[in-house]
Amino acid sequence: MLKARIAVLVSGGGTNLQALIDAQKSGSLHDGRIELVLASKKDAYALTRAGENGIEAKAVCRRDFESQEAYEQEMARLIDERQIDLIILAGFMSILSGAFTSRYQGRIINVHPSLIPSFCGKGYYGLKVHEAALAYGVKVTGATVHYVNEVTDGGRIILQKAVEVQEGDTPKTLQRRVMEEAEWQLLPKAAQMICAEIVKDRQMRRKI
């Protein structure tokens, strides 16, 4: 069966990667297959998750390269060699340049732990997003899957899901609820939507 080839870029534990792996196993992500996991840290547990599931995984760390350009060239080499169709940023904390995002225009997506345009952009990542949401006093937050461009969290929105803020929430409890109720559901769903379009387009091209 024809499938879109996916690369997942990670930095830490890889819980969103795990959600994608689980979706692939269950069949809900059936038009795509994870072919490569790239981690920005050598000790990222996401590398272990990938290995345990038979997925090729490599650490590519910015500090190992003389320049951002050289760092991104190595990632691009690995991605292009494997003919990757879709790049998914799943808790990837390394900043990508406009040159990299434009090279894969319309082919990179990211999951962000807020309802964009709230609590997004430069400086809003990880627990900082949830700290800001609680400090502002919002009653509803959530997660967003969007395309990636040269503007941080500025690409077109694909999917969003709201999550209620509960009395007594801390940044950590809110983070966990947003992951469980929104991120882990939205990201595989968005991946399947895009992979289905990629497969459909490829099938149409074969008929021409």
- Residues noted as catalytic: 112
Cis omega before residue 117 (within 30°)?
yes
Inter-residue contact 188 to 8 (CB < 8 Å): no
Closest of 58, 62, 119 to residue 94, by C-alpha: 62
d(CA 53, CA 193): 23
SS3 labels along the chain:
CCCEEEEEEECCCCHHHHHHHHHHHHCCCCCEEEEEEEECCCCCHHHHHHHHCCCEEEECCHHHCCCHHHHHHHHHHHHHHCCCCEEEECCCCCCCCHHHHHHCCCCEEEEECCCCCCCCCCCCCCHHHHHHHHHHCCCEEEEEEEECCCCCCCCCEEEEEEEECCCCCCHHHHHHHHHHHHHHHHHHHHHHHHHHHHHHHHHHHHHC
